[in-house]
Amino acid sequence: MMSSTYLTYTVFAVVCLLLLTLPFVPAFREWLRPTDLAALPISPNYTSDIDHFARRLHADAAAKLGQGAATGYEEFDFVPDASEGTDWRSATKRMISRSSLSSPSPIQSTQPLYVQGDLRAGPASTFSALYATGDIALDAESEIHDWAHADGVVRLGRKGIALRRISAGSAIELGNETWFERLQAPSLHFGSRDVPVPAPYPGTPLEASYADLPDAVQQTPLLFLIRGNCALPPDSIYRGSLVVTGFLTIGMGTTVLGDIKAREGVSMGYGAEVHGAVTCEKRVYVFKQARAWGPLVSESDILIGAGAVIGLPDAQTTVSANNIIVEDGVTIHGTVWAHEVGMVKAA
């Protein structure tokens, strides 16, 4: 009886010991003969520049053309001078065009294309990646699948699709019903260029203070906090920044000289202006003719009404949200980043 008890205890102890020591076998092996000990890589030169890929293609093409330092990635084919009959789909290497390209019929290129000069392509053209040292103009229903960059202007006709990154040195113009993800240029114009300019807001704003708003708490000399919803009355000027834990409504023609944050949503009325950043955890509505200096950031959706202007020509900014819907006639200076869907809506 006694020996059986001892046996049980011994077996139990051995099983426990085995369970505890078994995981140490690979542990000791990894310690003594390391196979995975490098520090997590962090690129010292990492930035989120939108034209990262464009600059790389430009560098490779310049090297191929003898206009830049070697990069080691100079495998290109040249587009024939009479490009009209080019079989774009059969290209196996990246392509370089040594002069401007203009094709009234569609170009459907599966390989990245580098154009020295302007590129104009007919309706329903498709490109994987595209760089032009001049302007890019793609007619209706054209698609860009990876990225495109023009040192001048990028114009995309109606019902286009601009996936991933589109950047331009001067401006980007997207036609109505175009889908986009990430855009960057000194000026971004959405919708048709001939849309009538809405009348400017007629009111004259008067000085007002956050301190007069219900339940306002002064956090710093230039910041007020309001718990719950808040409505800034129309035709007022508020100085300083404001945090609202509920929904913030900025009345028509009201100007805020500071940053605003509202957790549950923001509505910028017709002709309202925010000379600072607008951040929100939910949806942001920017009604027609409203202006925000930016950045304009939502963790949900942003809807920008006709004639609204975000950013300044000499102070570009960022507009970022999961979904961004922009109406005809909107101008944004800087970057737009729609994580899921961006769309230009006809007014």
Binding site for another protein (CB under 8 A): 23-24, 26-27, 29-31, 34-40, 42-50, 184, 217, 219-223, 225, 227, 241-243, 258-261, 277, 279, 281, 293-295, 297, 299, 315-318, 320, 334-335, 337
**Least separation, in Å, of the C-beta of 101 and another protein?**
30
Nearer to another protein, 41 or 85 (CB): 41
**Least separation, in Å, of the C-beta of 312 and another protein?**
8
Q: What angle do CA 300, 336, 119 make, to 5 degrees?
A: 140
Under 8 Å between Cβ of 203 and 269: no
Distance of CA 79 to the CA centre of its chain: 32
Which residues lie across from 319 on neighbouring strands?
296, 336
* Closest to 250 measured CA to CA, from 197, 195, 194, 289: 289
Helical (H) or strand (E) element with 285: strand 284-286
**Least separation, in Å, of the C-beta of 230 and another protein?**
14
**Least separation, in Å, of the C-beta of 65 and another protein?**
28
Q: Is 306 helix (H, G, I), strand (E, B) or coil?
A: coil
Nearer to another protein, 191 or 334 (CB): 334
Burial group, residue 275, by CB count within 10 angstroms (0-12, 13-18, 19+)? middle
**Least separation, in Å, of the C-beta of 50 and another protein?**
7
Nearer to another protein, 127 or 210 (CB): 210
Nearer to another protein, 114 or 224 (CB): 224
DSSP 8-state assignment for residue 45: T
Alpha carbon distance 95, 132 (integer Å): 12
**Least separation, in Å, of the C-beta of 136 and another protein?**
21
DSSP string, 220-234: ETTEEEESS-EEEPS
Nearer to another protein, 119 or 150 (CB): 150
Under 8 Å between Cβ of 77 and 94: yes
Q: Is omega for the bond preceding 295 within 30 degrees of 0, making it cis? A: yes
Nearer to another protein, 109 or 317 (CB): 317
**Least separation, in Å, of the C-beta of 45 and another protein?**
5
Neighbours of 148 (CB within 10 A): 29
Nearer to another protein, 45 or 90 (CB): 45
